[in-house]
Amino acid sequence: MGQRSLRDATFVIKDGGNEEITVKIGEGNITWSEKRTVEYTHERGAIDSSRLGDDEPCDVKFDFVWDWIESGSDSQDIVGAIKVTNSGWVSTGAECEPDACDLELTIEDCSIEEVITFSDFRWTTLDYDLRAGTISCSGSCVANPNVT
Amino acid sequence: MIKNNIAKWVFASVCKHFTDNISGITLYIEGLDRNTYGLSDWCELRLDGPNIREVSKNLLKINAEVNILIATHIDVENLYHETENINKVIQAYIDFDIYKYGNNSDDTGDLIGRFKLLPLDDLRDKLQITRFGILGPALTLMQTTTEGHYEMLVDEEEE
């Protein structure tokens, strides 16, 4: 029995091609919420039966160290990866949809490795905190993460 | 592994930076033999830390406190003599780089990162000057301490 933590985790953003960049979480965190909707049918006021409702996107939130936003030495930066605007990056999503990327969280400890993949992540907010030197990103994926 | 040597590299870089940037008053490093005979004023550097914390995988947050004790003999003709000495010291409290200084094969002299003086407006992490005044009725020596808190992030994979 053990407990996994950020010290075991490598967090990578990938595009639809071969590009990827490792995210420095620093003192931040990665959180997500798997969701599903359940609909209940009532019979004269009492719950009679239930069934799964419509799919819901999986909300993901993560923080990372505020390095250069666009002035890094190799023109590959985290914000550009999230927005899929880095040079050479292509979206993982379908054409005509908002640009998306994949998030891959690898947790490795004692030669055991677990990979948690968030497919087609699309950002919705980027919160910049210069005093803390961090940027927080929130967004969602079309499905709950895949764990291998 | 940077963790194996970081204490020495931080200490060596701190000593070099403050030695290079304090002038007009003799600076000693704590732990070295010192002979203050004949000196009216001097100061002595002491380093607390570095404290090392792995905040996420392979990313180390390193912080340390630089403390310099200033000894000033009373100058009856210059009321500002002690504060002039303080000014000579605190101007060195600026951001500076940490290098792999030392005498061993790991000590390549390469740059590790930048030690940043923590913000002055944070009540906990400030450049602090504490004046103790005259040490005793029979002495003409006044002591002052200056303390600054430094911090940097190091990516072990890039080292």
> pLDDT tens digits, residue range A83-124?
999 989 999 999 899 999 999 999 988 788 999 999 999 999
Residue B57 CB contacts under 8 Å (≥ 6 apart), including other chains: A6, A7, A8, A9, A10, A25
The interface residues of chain B toward chain A in range 26-55, judged by CB-CB distance below 8 A, are: 54-55
Percent over 90 (pLDDT), chain A: 68
The pLDDT of residue B128 is above 90: no
CA distance B15 to B30: 10
Element (H, E) at B13: helix B6-21
**Of residues A73 and B130, which shows the higher confidence score?**
B130
Q: What tokens appear for B3 in the block?
A: 């963790």
The pLDDT of residue B122 is above 70: no
Average pLDDT rounded to a whole number, residues B106-125: 80
User: B56 and A8 in contact by Cβ < 8 A?
Assistant: no
| Start-end of H helices in B22-139 | 81-90
For residue A6, the chain B residues in CB contact (below 8 A) are 55-57
User: What is the pLDDT at residue A139?
Assistant: 97
For residue B153, the chain A residues in CB contact (below 8 A) are 24, 26, 65
The pLDDT of residue B121 is above 60: no
Average pLDDT rounded to a whole number, residues A3-23: 91
CA distance A61 to A77: 18
User: What is the pLDDT at residue A73?
Assistant: 60
pTM: 0.80
B106: helix, strand or coil: coil
The interface residues of chain B toward chain A in range 73-132, judged by CB-CB distance below 8 A, are: 119
Strand blocks (E) in A15-148: 20-23, 30-33, 38-43, 46-52, 58-65, 101-109, 112-129, 134-141, 146-147
Average pLDDT rounded to a whole number, residues B20-27: 95
| CA-wise closest residue to B22 among B103, B89, B116 | B89
Asked which of A53-62, B33-42, B58-67 is least confident by mean pLDDT, the reply is: B33-42
The pLDDT of residue A56 is above 70: yes
Average pLDDT rounded to a whole number, residues B24-35: 89
For residue B155, the chain A residues in CB contact (below 8 A) are 24
Residue with tokens 């304090």: B22
Average pLDDT rounded to a whole number, residues B103-113: 90
| CA-wise closest residue to A123 among A107, A105, A103 | A103
